[in-house]
Structure 1
Amino acid sequence: MIRPKIPSNPLPTGLLTPIVPAVYEPQAQVPAVCHCQHPAPAAQQAAAPAGGSAAVDLVKRHPVLIVGGLVVGAVLAIATFLAIALVAVAVPIGALVMRSLLKDLRSNR
């Protein structure tokens, strides 16, 4: 059976120091003493709306966000289509230029 290799940390001197996992010992945290007036922490968090999630609530309240998202999406889609069209036009033009250059090289011989 294959035996696992003992992890070691090779030093430049050639000595091997075995790696010993660090033991975490939690320490008691002492609260900082300050002389300012802090408000008491809230006993309960605000209750979630019974009608649904916060995302649905946000959509109901802010239709401008929906319109803004659609506008940004449309702009990105148009930019992508323009980039594809530019590449689709540039590749054949490059091929015609290359063919013309190669044709001139062959005719000069």
Structure 2
Amino acid sequence: MDKVMRMSSEKGVVIFTKSSCCLCYAVQILFRDLRVQPTIHEIDNDPDCREIEKALLRLGCSTAVPAVFVGGKLVGSTNEVMSLHLSGSLVPLIKPYQSILY
């Protein structure tokens, strides 16, 4: 779990994904459309993939990927991110990480 916490705190917006996950891709596109350049960790390319998945589930993710962290705090998976976006709560959360030049 230490590795996940360290990785999730590297940048303002961090997304744990798998390369074959279409929902992961959709979440990445959403953040890019909102002018945020997230740090992406494709865990299927990490030798500790299984441990990372277990740690993400222990932290409270409904599914291991995508797992979105903002400011080092777990936001959640696709359902949580989309719910925040539809309610208008996502943009204020990510505002400090938006790029004006993006």
Shorter-chain TM-score range:
under 0.3
Asked which structure has the greater RCO (Cα within 8 Å, sep 6+), the reply is: 2
Query: Could you tell me the TM-score, scaled by structure 2's length?
Result: 0.20
Higher strand share: 2
- Structure with higher Rg: it is 1
Q: TM-score, normalised by structure 1?
A: 0.19
